[in-house]
C-alpha cells in the first residue's frame, strides 16, 4: 500500500489557503485544511497528515502554541511542520526552529521553492 501524501494546511487567510491547496493538489498531494488550531487538532486526530504547513498569526491558539502541542504529543511529534508566515523577524524564526519545525518560509512564499522543499521531506 502506498503511503498517503496527505498534507494539512493551517492558515486563517482563506485566499492563501485556497491558492496553496490548489498548487499542492495539482502536484498530486492530498490536502486537508483548517482555519485555526482547534480545527487543525480535530483534523490531526481524525487523519494524521504526513506534513503540516502552519501559519503563526491566527486567532485563538497561535502557530507557535500549536507547534509546541504537536511536538509534545507522542502520536504527532514525528510529523514535520513547515511554518509559512508573514513574520520575518529572526527571533520568530529562531523560536520556530527551537520548537523543532522542519523549515520556515516567509510570505509571500515562492510556491515552487516550497513544493521542492516538501518533496525533500516527503518524497
Three-state SS letters, 33-67: EECCHHHHHHHHHHCCCCEEEECCCCCCCCHHHHH
Question: What is the residue range of 45's domain?
Answer: 6-121
In this structure, is residue 113 part of a structural domain? yes
In this structure, is residue 1 part of a structural domain? no
Q: How far apart are the first and last CA of the chain?
A: 15
In the structure, what pLDDT confidence band is assigned to residue 59 with cuts at 50, 70 and 90? confident
Q: Which residues of 54-80 are buried (b: 16+ CB within 10 A; e: fewer)?
A: bbbebeeebbbebbeebeeeeebeebb
Total domains in the fold of the chain: 1
CA dihedral 48, 41, 35, 92 (to 10 degrees): -100
Q: What is the pTM of this model?
A: 0.93
Q: Which helix (H) or strand (E) holds 104?
A: strand 103-106
**What pLDDT digit, counting tens, does each position of 82-120 carry?**
999 999 999 999 999 999 999 999 999 999 999 999 999
Q: Are 41 and 35 in contact (CB under 8 A)?
A: no
The per-residue pLDDT for 83 is 97
In this structure, is residue 44 part of a structural domain? yes
In this structure, is residue 73 part of a structural domain? yes
Amino acid at each position: 500500500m502506498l503511503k498517503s501524501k496527505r498534507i494539512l494546511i493551517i492558515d486563517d487567510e482563506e485566499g492563501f489557503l485556497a491558492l496553496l491547496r490548489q498548487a499542492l493538489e495539482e502536484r498530486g498531494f492530498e490536502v486537508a485544511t483548517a482555519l485555526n488550531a482547534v480545527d487543525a487538532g480535530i483534523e490531526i486526530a481524525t487523519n494524521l497528515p504526513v506534513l503540516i504547513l502552519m501559519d503563526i498569526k491566527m486567532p485563538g491558539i497561535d502557530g507557535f502554541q500549536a507547534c509546541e502541542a504537536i511536538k509534545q504529543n507522542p502520536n504527532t511529534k514525528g510529523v514535520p511542520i513547515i511554518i509559512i508566515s508573514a513574520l520575518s523577524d529572526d527571533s520568530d524564526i529562531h523560536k520556530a526552529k527551537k520548537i523543532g519545525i522542519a523549515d520556515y518560509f516567509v510570505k509571500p512564499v515562492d510556491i515552487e521553492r516550497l513544493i521542492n522543499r516538501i518533496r525533500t521531506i516527503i518524497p
